[in-house]
Amino acid sequence: MTDPAQPAQPQPAAPLTEAEDKQWASFAHLGGIIGFLPSLIIWLIFKDRGPKTNVEAKEALNFQLTLLIAHVVAWILYIILIGMFIDIAAWIVGLIFSIIAFTKVNAGESYRYPFAIRFIK
C-alpha cells in the first residue's frame, strides 16, 4: 500500500513513436513561421520523449532566437536611423525657412513661420 501522506510521483510520459517523433520535430521547424514560442514549447514538452524532436526543436529554437536578436537589432537601428533622418530633415527645413524669413524681413516685410508652436505670446 502507498502512504497517503506521500504525494503521488508523476509518471514519465511515454516515448514518442518514430512517426510522432518525426511529426513533432517537423512542427518545431514549421512553428518558426509565427516565432520562437512553438519550437520552445515543443522542445520543453517533448525533448525527453523523442531524440529527433530533441535535436530538431533545439535547432529550430536556436535559429528562431537568432532571428529574434536580428529583429531587435534591426528595430533599434531603424529607430536610430529614422531619428537621424528626422534630425537632418528638421535641420534642412530650419535652414530653408530661416533663409526665407531673413530675405522677407530684410526686404522690409514681416515673416511668420508656417508651423511654429507659439510658446511665447
The tens digit of pLDDT for each residue in 46-78 reads: 999 999 999 999 999 999 999 999 999 999 999
Determine the pLDDT at residue 1: 53
Residue pair 49/15 in contact (Cβ under 8 Å)? The answer is yes
Determine the pLDDT at residue 6: 74
Domain ranges of the chain: 18-106
**Could you give the residue ranges of the DSSP H alpha helices within 1-121?**
18-30, 37-46, 51-106
The tens digit of pLDDT for each residue in 3-45 reads: 667 777 777 789 999 999 999 999 999 999 999 999 999 999 9
Q: What does DSSP assign to residue 83?
A: H
Describe the crossing of helices 18-30 and 51-106 by its angle, rounded to 10 degrees: 0
Determine the pLDDT at residue 115: 82
pTM (whole model) above 0.85: no
